Structure 1
Amino acid sequence: MREFFQDMGVFVGDRWEDILYRSYQHTSLVVQCLVLATIIAIAVALLVTRVPRLQPAANMISAVGLTIPSFALIGMMLGLVGIGVIPSVIAVTFYATLPILRNAVVGLMGVDKGLMESAQGMGMSSAGRFLRVQLPLAWPVIMTGIRVSAQMSMGVAAIAAFALGPGLGQYIYTGLAQIGGANAVNYALVGTIGIVILALLLDAILLLVRRLTTSKGIRA
């Protein structure tokens, strides 16, 4: 065991710059896709609040979408857009949108209609009611969806390395491809542990963002 940790230390010491760079790539991919997914999810959820009969369809898409194997989706993207960053962005954004969409629909639909009517009576425009009343009240629920989505997206981004996407997933695939080799376990462990650490750090940051962006009157 002592030799294993020594070997791991040497492995990380020789590649720490590459590990940091791939960690940055991995986090950057997930964060950018989360931002894009949040915008898409809130826009669709807003449409659902305006047309309530669309809610079952939105919920069905959220549920069914999560059953699609990520390998299958990435394989399909390879045939459509080739290898590289683009299929990775599409796959991560797709899966990231689903939990956020479900929570955004629940959050926006759960805002008291009396408050919305009062805001309208005060002369607020439709956009004003959404930005100043509906979205702030639904935000804690939406942020919960974003946090769930972030954890899931970290794993999907690793699988996206199959399409030669950026991030620590390449270390995992290198380890699997070199099974029996001298550094196979080191590659796989560094990639896996690195992704877990990044996921925990991102969740802590999102928890702080949730606290800072949620009105004191509705904090749980």
Structure 2
Amino acid sequence: MWDYLQQQRQDIAFNTYQHLLIVVQAVTLATLLAIAVAVLVTRVRRLEPFANTFSAIGLTLPSFALVGLCLPIFGIKPYTAFTVVTFFAILPVLRNAVVAFDGVDKTLVESARGMGMGPARVLLRVQLPLAWPVVLAGVRTSTQMSMGVAAIAAIALGPGLGTYIYSGLAQYGGANALNSALVGTVGVVLLALAVDAVLVLVGRLTISKGIRA
């Protein structure tokens, strides 16, 4: 194993970076979309059942199955993997964001409006800061799930550590098959733990002490 790591250290570092990049980009896009949809849902209440149903159905859909559905549409290309990761990344954030914005005290929102704040300022200065702890919890869940989904999506030529897992399985019985699979699997786990630790730090820096749990 040590010899394999030494020989492949540059490729492993590059693929780790690629794995991190696709997850960060997908989760960032998913978070922005989820917050936008959650704001819309809290203002148009009849949309809430559709958002909840979308999240529930999406979370039960196997990621490998979605990759299989996307391949005939998008082909075996890197953005197919990005599409799949983004789809799954949005689900936990959307569910948490709807709950979070629903839980914001309505009297605080009315007070802000009474002070002359417009809708955008109310959202950015009152609703989002109060909802952020719950939204961030969804982001953390989304990130952990996306790490695994990105590994599975490597079958569509997606970048990242999943390539080592598939390579190991394809070379089953070969000299470095086990080493390759272990590098991919352990690498995803370690990367997920490292990113979660960063998100915990982000929470400490962005969540007001007055509402921090």
TM-score, normalising length: structure 2: 0.99
3-state SS, counterpart of residue 143 of structure 1? helix
**Overall identity of the aligned pairs, in %:** 63
Please show how residues 201-220 of structure 1 align to structure 2 within 5 Å: 201-220=194-213
3-state SS, counterpart of residue 218 of structure 1? coil
The one of 9, 20, 23 equivalent to 1:27 is: 20
The aligned counterpart of 2:177 is 184
Cα shift readout 1:70-100 (whole Å, capped 9, x = no counterpart) = 1111112111111121111100000000000
Measure the CA separation in 1 of the matches of 2:187 and 2:197.
16
Q: Which moved more, 1:98-107 or 1:75-84?
A: 75-84
User: Is residue 52 of structure 2 the alignment partner of residue 59 of structure 1?
Assistant: yes
The one of 70, 80, 87 equivalent to 1:77 is: 70
Measure the CA separation in 2 of the matches of 1:45 and 1:172.
36
The one of 25, 37, 40 equivalent to 2:30 is: 37
Q: Which amino acid aligns with 1:16?
A: R
Q: Which amino acid aligns with 1:119?
A: A
In the TM superposition, structure 1's runs of 4+ consecutive aligned residues that sit over 4 Å from their partners are none
1:26 is displaced (CA, Å) by 0.1
User: Is residue 84 of structure 2 the alignment partner of residue 99 of structure 1?
Assistant: no
The aligned counterpart of 1:129 is 122
Measure the CA separation in 2 of the matches of 1:203 and 1:85.
25
Cα shift readout 1:175-197 (whole Å, capped 9, x = no counterpart) = 00011111110000010000000
The one of 97, 101, 113 equivalent to 1:108 is: 101
Q: Which amino acid aligns with 2:202?
A: V
Q: Which moved more, 1:90-99 or 1:69-78?
A: 69-78
Runs of 5+ unmatched residues, structure 1: 1-7
- How many residues end up aligned between the 2 structures? 213
Runs of 5+ unmatched residues, structure 2: none
1:103 is displaced (CA, Å) by 0.3
